[in-house]
Chains A and B, each alone.
Chain A
Amino acid sequence: MVSNAGGRRRWGLTIAGWAVALAMFFPILWMFVTSFKTEITAVATPPALVFHPTLANYVAVLDRADYLAFARNSVLVSLGSTLVALLLGVPAAYSMAFFPTRRTRDLLLWMLSTRMLPAVGVLVPIYLLWRDLGLLDSVFGLIVIDSLSVLPIVVWMLFSFFREVPAVILEASRMDGARPLEELIHVLLPLSGPGIASTALLSIILCWNEAFWSLNLTTVKAATLTAFTASFSSPEGLFWAKLSAASTLSIAPILVFGWLSQRQMARGLSMGAVK
């Protein structure tokens, strides 16, 4: 009886899991399929399920814009921002996790609260600052703003991973003569490796997908793939197939990246839960 109920429960969960996953994946699948249709079949009602696949959209899209330039910017911005966010976030999370004060909780909540403000709320001041500092349309400028916007999440994640490391092990290293930086490099980082890796992966994905600042602070030189995609959308909703092709090209690298690193991500994100 018990095992029967457990079995039924497991089946139910499996079906529910697949249903949710399919529902979430369906738009991407649809976009992928649409990218191989002609513009006419793309807007046909009811949707054409059987059609002649064509690469014409990809040819057109790659012909009109320098995909590799955008892709290079996306790579530079997402890796650069993640690196900067980790360089700032690791020491911050270290001090908050191992030398907390009465204000640490408040500080963490405040950091998170900055994510609740819509980015557009600070668009004008940021734009003016970036203009006067000469950071508009530069990869560096985009790295600065992206790393700052991803920093709260990075600090939060690192903070919770660091909390899993027994403080006594760090104390032991101090007794062994380790100064703070040595303690960090030789003990804390190796012990929280999976956590740091999944923090970095999530940060890369967030920065890759970031569109708002990319659209508003760049034009040509530093534009990323999100700007590339956006350039194919038109207010009238024309050219669905080409937009789909552009979107597919934009998300393909990060999709492959996510696929390859999913094991690492899951391991890091559940590190606290299973131990």
Chain B
Amino acid sequence: MATIELRNVRKRFGAHDVIHGVDLLIRDREFLAFVGPSGSGKSTLLRMIAGLEAVSEGEVLIEGRPVQNVPPSQRGLAMVFQSYALYPHMTVAENMSFSLRLAGVPKTERDQKVRAVARVLEMEALLERKPRQLSGGQLQRVAIGRAMVRQPKAFLLDEPLSNLDAALQAQMRLELVRLHRELATTMVYVTHDQHEAMTMADRIVVLNNGRVEQMGSPLELYQRPATLFVAGFIGTPKMNFLDAEVKAATARMLTLAFAEGRGVNVPSPAGGLAAGAKITLGIRPEHVELAPEGELHGEVDVLEQLGPRSYVHARLADGTRLVAQAAGDTQLRGGESVVFRLHADAAHLFDGAGKALNP
């Protein structure tokens, strides 16, 4: 149970910076996710909290105390690695009790704690096995169990589910959320999968090129992305982006023209925009619908039928790709002409630098 704070943390590898000054307060008992594409610095940031990577500049504080000079072994944090990193020469029970053994906990107490955790994770039958005799999902459980046994100040999880198959991932996601609730411990979770972050985290930090793009609750990021990057990264299928030019502007309304010719009226952002400004309009697939009349015309590329709903992947006249959500029983063939109507109220506007223009 602990707060973790980063103050202007930087990481330099040789001449180039991979983390450019991150400020962040991870609250006690929070489930916080670092999400971003590979190379965004999310794992490096986690490893700096763990102490496995030195901090080039800035401060890391655990429970308010700077820990830059505290080795990982003394930080009281537990980590779950993507590759599990179990000790191959030890049994499951030995793997789990290793930290207690190092801490000088007597054997009976160690056994007791290991058994208690094994019961929670439903793996008591595995205790005497060696890691090479376990399946991926079992290895994952042992890795989590090993972290739990020592009752750490916080859990650091580095892409713990990415080596599991989809069904197991979905199951482990729920289990982790449940575990977090039961353990009531701070968890910092790194993933490249925005879906994982959205479904599990209390708060998400979106990283891009070593910078924090935005942080907030999953719904905040979904509904009010601060940048074009976040807008494109959070949500599946991805938000549609359309290049547009401001044709006319009033205090309340903007009239936009798409490259393809037609236009749309959207609420004016705070501060307004001058006619002639070039912007990007972002709109999620669920806010684009098939209609007899509408702002965008195109032809069907692929129809993706998921059962409860379908996604229409289309190509507009100028080549722009557009995805629209439609009813589950929609029937369309490739090449068919379709018309889309936009829910203009739900549109997001971004300026040339990719910053959101908020109403």
List chain A positions with a Cβ less than 8 A from chain B: 166, 168-169, 171-179, 182, 186-187, 190-191
Contacts and interface: CB of A to CB of B under 8 A. Distances in A.
A166 B85 CA distance: 8
Interface in B73-109: 73-74, 77-79, 81, 83, 85-89, 98-99, 102-103
Nearest to A189: B89
Contacts, number: 61
Interface residues of B, number: 24
B89 A190 contact: yes
B52 interface: yes
Contact of B103 (A166, A174, A177): A177
Given A171-B52, A175-B50, A175-B78, A166 B71 contact: no
A187 B71 CA distance: 18
Nearest to A187: B87
B7 to A, nearest CB: 23
A191 B88 CA distance: 8
B150 interface: yes
Contacts of B87: 169, 172-173, 187, 191
Contacts of B150: 176-177
B81 A176 contact: no
Interface in B158-174: none
Contacts of B156: 175
A182 B85 contact: no
A168 B81 contact: yes
B21 interface: no
A172 B81 contact: yes
B85 A186 contact: no
B79 A182 contact: no
A174 B72 CA distance: 6
A223 to B, nearest CB: 42
8 contacts: A168-B85, A172-B87, A173-B87, A174-B73, A175-B72, A178-B98, A182-B102, A186-B98
A162 to B, nearest CB: 15
A169 B87 CA distance: 7
Given A166-B85, A174-B52, A175-B78, 12 more contacts: A168-B85, A169-B86, A169-B87, A171-B79, A172-B85, A172-B87, A174-B51, A177-B73, A177-B102, A179-B71, A179-B73, A182-B102
A187 B73 CA distance: 14
**Dominant secondary structure at the A interface:** helix
B81 A178 contact: no
A182 B99 CA distance: 11
Contacts of B146: 172, 176
Q: Max chain B CB contacts within 10 Å: which of A171, A172, A176, A179?
A: A176
A174 B87 CA distance: 12
A177 B99 contact: yes
Interface in B129-161: 146, 150, 156
A177 B146 CA distance: 12
Nearest to A176: B99
Given A176-B98, A177-B73, A171 B103 contact: no
A187 B86 CA distance: 10
Contact of A169 (B77, B85, B103): B85
B14 to A, nearest CB: 9
A187 B88 CA distance: 9
Interface in B34-81: 50-52, 71-74, 77-79, 81
Contacts of B78: 175-176
Nearest to B101: A186
A178 B52 CA distance: 13
Q: Lowest 10 CB-CB distances: which A-B pairs, in order?
A: A176-B99, A172-B85, A168-B85, A175-B79, A174-B72, A177-B102, A190-B89, A177-B73, A169-B85, A177-B99
A181 to B, nearest CB: 11
B85 A171 contact: yes
A79 B31 CA distance: 55
Contacts of A176: 73, 78, 98-99, 102, 146, 150
Nearest to B72: A174
Residue with the greatest number of chain B CB neighbours at <10 A, chosen from A166, A175, A190, A191: A175
Contacts of A174: 51-52, 71-73
B150 to A, nearest CB: 7
B253 to A, nearest CB: 56
A174 B86 CA distance: 12
A169 B73 CA distance: 14
